[in-house]
Every structure is written in C-alpha cells, then in structure tokens.
Amino acid sequence: MVDVILLNGGSSSGKTTLAIRLQNTLPGAWLRFSIDDLIDALPKSMLEDPAGITFGTDGSVTPGSDFRSLERAWMHGLAAMAKQGAKLIIDDVLLSGAEGQKRWQAALQGLDVLWVGVMCDAEVAKERETKRIDRVSGMAAAQAVTVHEGVRYDVRVDTSKKPIEECVHVIRERVEYLY
C-alpha cells in the first residue's frame, strides 16, 4: 500500500499539475504538498540571507543551513502526518539529487513511498518557464537534469513526451498495483 507519492522534477517540469490531477483521480483523500509551500511560508528575510535560500539571477537556487534545518522539520512533519494515516502527494525539487532523496528517505522511514521521476526536456521546461511570472529565468534548464542525478525511482514519466493524463495513468496504475 502506498502512503506517500513523492514527485521529483525540475522547475516547470509539470509536477504541480501532475500532483493536482493525481489528487483528483486517486481513490480516497490525498493531501498535496509542494516545496513551494515551504518556501512561501518562509519569512522574507530568509530569502535574502545565504543561511536561508537564495535564488540567483542565472536560475540557480542555493539552500543554506537555516533553510536545511527548516526543510528537515517540514519533511519530518509531513512524515508524521503520513504515519497517522494521511495519504500524501509531495512535489519536490531535489536540488542535490541523491542527497535530497536520502534526506526524504530518513524522514519517511517506515512508510511505503512511490518515488516518481518527473522528467521534462530542458527546452520544453524552458519554454514553459517563460510563460510563468513566478519563475526566475534559467531555473528550468538548470534543474532539468541535475535534480535526477543518482535518484532511484519506482516509475518515471516524461511530461514533454506524453500528455499529462497519460502520465497520471502510469502513476495511478502503479499505485493501484501496489494496493
């Protein structure tokens, strides 16, 4: 049985759209959380401090030590919800690839997690990024490959090659198979 679906992909890869569609099609009540929720909850001062999280004009994202501490608390808080029976869909950007997966694995220990790689061609992600006002130019291209380095997935979907509904179907089939 799947307790948590963890979607990992770069900026503008389609994770949030995928998460919303999954939430609306999977049986039962699934709660959806995104790394953007954590970032949006931060005080403005942490967005301007190297110990917090900084967004470079080139699209780079650099998490500092204070951000990592809050991120760890957020991860363990979500894991506590899942351990109490809440089904979760988490959409994240594992900037450090395999190291990010290890942090999630530590927090989600004892839970059944479906690891989903949300792939997207860098050029397609870059084009999507230009249509969004909430993105720093260059972020999508910078993250398209690096967020997947060393990460092990149960299933991969490519939102640049398949329609979102087909990607949802692939993930849903895997979730239902594991039930």
Which are the catalytic amino acids?
A: 36
Distance set, CA 111 to CA 39, 74, 82, 164 (Å): 25, 16, 8, 27
Write the burial class of residue 45 (CB in 10 Å: 0-12 exposed, 13-18 middle, 19+ buried).
exposed
Q: Which long-range contacts (CB under 8 A, 24 or more apart) does 162-168 make?
A: 164/14, 164/17, 164/18, 164/21, 165/21, 167/14, 167/18, 167/118, 168/18, 168/21, 168/22, 168/25
